[in-house]
Structures are given as structure tokens and as C-alpha cells.
């Protein structure tokens, strides 16, 4: 054990055996309390462990590597705010180093990152070259063979983020034992505390979770102690068939789209908005005589779902609303839904006929206008038939203006504040 680690362990031991006392709260003024040391959005924070979980083959390794590259370069190219740029160390315990180099090159090419922004800031270690064991059964309990070595290497390089991919390859304990998973997670938490780095553990979800895991921390594989020990956890899931239809993504392209949901956020409000990403195919241009096509590698990028308004301005929206307000003819108001006898007088038909929308696109717009109160569904009396029917009414007070798109502006649930993008301070 090194002198530095031994001194740290000695201090921890001394604190543990000191007399236990009930210490009065210091009650410092709020402005005197140091802020939390966030590095990347509200996901990665110094001195704590975070978890990124996903089914196999979805893109969790691509996302974790991209987050490391964003922190190393100080550029928030995935849409998250880089509070403080720090050197990052990716411990990929499955793939060879040349494969990691391909993925980094693809990300840099896709996001136009110059070599100067990354050189000396991103560190890569392959489990093919050096195995890692942070926790294993020992004669006297749980042993931690590499805990000291990881901490010392991180301190020597000034590392601010450690990515462990996958977590299961970093220990030799029973994944279904809460006590043993707590020991493995605690080993990484101790490294985070010792080095003041953020630690991101990349993990799997249970088999069968598929695309139903979004936002549910209990879908992570094995004992719950891992996510209990983490201060934040996020789940990456593939786009479902239903989501692809709703977002007008062709079935052949669905596999490229993944969503990231906050599953646990102990130190920040849990985000309501889903972050979407797309896996792009990047040609490296490394053709040889033997391999004339070279390599094409998947790299992840932020993706924004298409607007349901398809570029409609305030004038076009108001023209559509005027047509809806005028009614479907013969004394009928337009219907909010395309079911039963109301199909012919469905309000979305105005968008289909006059603006070239597809049926599903029109349905999303009408649903949004109803949700935000631009349209309301209510009973009206048909003058000729003398019957009560259901129809939609335009709320003129909520009509769009040149500065407010139709149906957007009224409620915080429908207009979440975007997370700032870009870099912060650089720890160079």
C-alpha cells in the first residue's frame, strides 16, 4: 500500500474509532455553503458514483465514451452543460485498444472535434491489456486488489472522470448479493472520494426489459445495492415501435434512436424531459489494399424529435384555427377525435387537406392543442337536429402570435426549460 493511500486509510480508521458524539449543527449561512461540484449537467458530480444502464447493443458504451469526450474537450456536443472540463479516463474492460481508438475517432469526426481539444485529456485503458479487479472474495472478507492502483493512477494524471465499462467486469463478486454489490460499489465510491473524480459505472438491465425500461431504476441487473449506492442513475432504452410511429421515424431507422431517462437523482431535481440520441454511421477513411472499404463506426449524437408543426408559422396556424372555428359544415363543429361518425369531421382533417400533414402528424398537433388549451372539447347543441354533440372550440385568447407558436407557451409541463449547452471552465 502506498504512503498516500495508507495515510488516507489511517485517517479514515482514526475517524471510525473516535468517540461517537452528537455534534451540534454548525448552521452556516446558505451563501457560505460550497455548491455541489457538478461536472456534466446534473449527471456527473465530483466525489460520487453515477450509473448508466441499458440493454445490450443499445449504445451505452457509445454514450459513456461521448460523455467522457465532452468533459475532456469541454464541449457540450450532446446537449448537456459542461460545468468544468476535466481529464477523463475510460476503463473499457471488454474491447481492445484499437477498437476504442476507432470509436474515439468516429466521435471526433462526427462532432468536428480537433485533436488539440482532446490530446492529453482523454485516457484509455483496455481490459484486454490489463485486467482490473476492484473487489473479490478474500480469506478475511472482501479484498480490493486494484482499488489503490486505480486511485493512484487517477491522481497522477489529474483525472476528473472515471468511466468503468462494464461495471460487472471490474469485480469478482456475486451480482445478485446486495452485501457484495454494496462492497463493489463502495470500492468505486472510495476511489471517487480519494481522487475527487466523478465515477460513471456502465451497467446492464435485466433480460427482458427491452424498450420498457425507461426511467425505472429497478430494471438494472442484479442486486439493488448498486443503484442504491449511486447518487444518480440514468437508463438508455431503444425507441419503441409506438414512439417511432408517434415521432414519424421510419421502422428501418428506429434502431438508430435511443432515449435517456433519469431513473434516480439524489442531488438534483429529476428531469421530466427525455433526452433523445441517434447512432450515426461514420466512415473513418482508413481503407487499405486489403480492406478497400475501411471501417464504418457508430457514433452517438443528440437528436431532437421533429416538431409537430412542420414549420407552420403563426399565420398558417391561425388560418388552420379559423377553418376549425368555422366548423365542419351543416351546423357541425369539428370533432377532437377520428373515431366513429366523427371521422369525417375530425379537426385534424383540416391539417391533412390544407397543409399536407399525414394523419398521425395531424393527430399529434390536435392532441397538443387540446392539451395546452388552444382547443377545448365541449358539448354544443346542433341547431337543426336539436341534439347535444361533442365538438372542439378554439380559445382565441391562446391563439399564436408572431412570437408564440401555437399550443406552446402556457404550461411548464409542455415547455420545459432546455438544459444549457456548451463548455464551462477548463481544468487544464
Predicted confidence (pLDDT) per residue in 335-374, tens digit: 998 875 556 889 999 999 999 888 888 888 898 888 888 9
pLDDT reading at 405 higher than 50: no
Query: What is the pLDDT at residue 12?
Result: 65
Going by DSSP bridges, is the β-strand pair 275-283/296-302 parallel, antiparallel, or unpaired?
Answer: antiparallel
- pLDDT band of residue 215 (cuts 50, 70, 90) is low
- Residue 331's region, left for phi above 0, alpha for psi from -120 to 50, else beta, is left
Query: What is the pLDDT at residue 228?
Result: 84
CB atoms closer than 10 angstroms to residue 186 = 18
Domain 36-305+420-426, CATH number (from 3.50.50.60, 3.40.50.1110, 3.40.50.300, 3.30.360.10):
3.40.50.300
Report helix, strand or coil for 394.
Answer: strand
Average pLDDT, the chain: 86
Query: What is the pLDDT at residue 290?
Result: 97
Our measurement of the distance from residue 165's CA atom to the centroid of its chain's CA atoms, rounded to an integer in Å, reads 17
Query: What is the pLDDT at residue 407?
Result: 45
- pLDDT band of residue 60 (cuts 50, 70, 90) is very high
Angle, in degrees to the nearest 10, between helices 348-355 and 314-326: 120
Q: Mean pLDDT over residues 31-60, rounded?
A: 95
| Secondary structure (DSSP) of 71-135 | HHHT--TTSSBBSEE--EEEEESSS-HHHHHHHHHHHHHHTT--HHHHTTTEEEEETTTS---SB
Rounded Cα gap, residues 160 and 86, in angstroms = 5
Query: What is the pLDDT at residue 425?
Result: 47
Summarised one tens digit per residue, pLDDT across range 285-315 is: 999 999 999 999 999 999 988 766 667 888 8
Rounded Cα gap, residues 199 and 230, in angstroms = 10
pLDDT reading at 426 higher than 50: no
Q: Assess contact for 279 and 59: CB atoms under 8 A.
A: yes
Query: What is the pLDDT at residue 222?
Result: 78
Name the one residue in this structure whose C-alpha cell is 399529434. 364
Query: What is the pLDDT at residue 270?
Result: 53
Query: What is the pLDDT at residue 272?
Result: 53
Summarised one tens digit per residue, pLDDT across range 96-153 is: 999 999 999 999 999 999 999 999 999 999 999 999 999 999 988 999 999 999 999 9
**Which has more confidence, 89 or 216?**
89
Residue ranges, comma separated, of all CATH 3.40.50.300 domains in the chain are 36-305+420-426
CB atoms closer than 10 angstroms to residue 379 = 9
Rounded Cα gap, residues 176 and 345, in angstroms = 57
Q: Assess contact for 162 and 128: CB atoms under 8 A.
A: no
Amino acid at each position: 500500500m502506498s504512503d498516500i493511500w495508507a495515510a488516507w486509510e489511517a485517517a479514515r480508521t482514526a475517524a471510525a474509532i473516535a468517540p461517537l458524539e452528537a455534534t451540534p449543527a454548525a448552521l452556516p449561512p446558505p451563501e457560505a455553503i460550497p455548491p455541489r461540484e457538478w461536472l456534466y449537467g446534473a449527471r456527473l458530480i465530483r466525489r460520487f458514483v453515477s450509473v448508466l444502464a441499458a440493454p445490450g447493443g443499445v449504445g451505452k458504451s457509445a454514450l459513456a465514451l461521448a460523455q467522457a469526450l465532452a468533459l475532456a474537450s469541454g464541449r457540450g456536443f450532446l446537449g448537456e452543460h459542461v460545468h468544468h472540463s476535466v481529464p477523463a479516463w475510460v476503463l473499457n474492460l471488454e474491447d481492445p485498444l484499437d477498437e476504442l481508438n476507432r470509436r474515439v475517432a468516429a466521435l471526433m469526426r462526427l462532432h468536428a472535434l480537433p485533436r488539440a481539444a482532446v490530446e492529453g485529456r482523454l485516457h484509455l485503458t483496455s481490459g484486454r491489456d490489463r485486467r482490473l479487479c476492484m473487489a473479490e472474495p478474500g480469506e478475511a472478507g472482501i479484498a480490493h486488489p486494484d482499488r489503490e492502483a486505480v486511485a493512484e493512477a487517477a491522481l497522477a494524471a489529474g483525472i476528473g472522470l472515471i468511466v468503468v465499462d462494464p461495471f460487472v467486469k471490474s469485480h469478482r463478486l456475486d451480482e445478485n448479493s446486495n452485501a457484495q454489490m454494496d462492497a463493489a460499489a463502495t470500492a468505486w465510491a472510495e476511489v471517487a472520494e480519494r481522487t475527487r473524480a466523478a465515477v460513471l459505472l456502465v451497467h446492464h438491465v435485466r433480460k427482458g426489459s427491452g424498450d420498457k425500461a425507461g426511467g425505472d431504476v429497478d430494471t438494472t441487473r442484479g442486486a439493488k445495492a448498486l443503484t442504491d449506492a449511486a447518487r444518480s442513475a440514468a437508463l438508455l432504452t431503444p425507441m419503441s415501435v409506438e414512439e417511432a410511429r408517434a415521432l414519424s421515424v421510419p421502422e428501418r431507422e428506429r434502431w438508430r434512436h435511443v432515449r435517456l431517462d433519469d431513473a434516480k437523482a439524489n442531488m438534483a431535481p429529476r428531469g421530466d424531459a427525455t433526452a433523445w440520441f441517434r447512432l450515426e454511421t461514420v466512415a473513418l477513411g482508413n481503407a487499405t489494399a486489403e480492406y478497400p472499404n475501411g471501417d464504418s463506426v457508430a457514433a452517438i449524437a443528440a437528436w431532437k424529435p421533429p416538431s409537430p408543426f412542420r414549420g407552420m408559422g403563426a399565420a398558417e396556424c391561425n388560418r388552420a384555427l379559423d377553418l376549425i372555428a368555422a366548423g365542419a359544415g351543416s351546423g357541425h363543429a369539428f370533432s377532437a377525435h377520428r373515431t366513429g361518425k366523427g371521422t369525417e369531421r375530425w379537426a385534424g382533417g383540416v391539417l391533412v387537406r390544407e397543409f399536407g400533414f399525414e394523419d398521425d402528424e395531424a393527430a399529434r398537433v390536435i392532441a397538443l392543442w387540446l392539451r395546452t388549451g388552444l382547443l377545448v372539447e365541449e358539448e354544443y347543441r346542433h341547431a337543426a337536429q336539436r341534439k347535444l354533440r361533442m365538438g372542439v372550440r378554439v380559445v382565441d385568447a391562446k391563439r399564436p402570435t408572431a412570437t408564440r407558436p401555437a399550443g406552446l407557451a402556457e404550461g411548464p409541463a409542455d415547455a420545459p426549460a432546455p438544459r444549457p449547452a456548451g463548455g464551462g471552465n477548463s481544468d487544464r
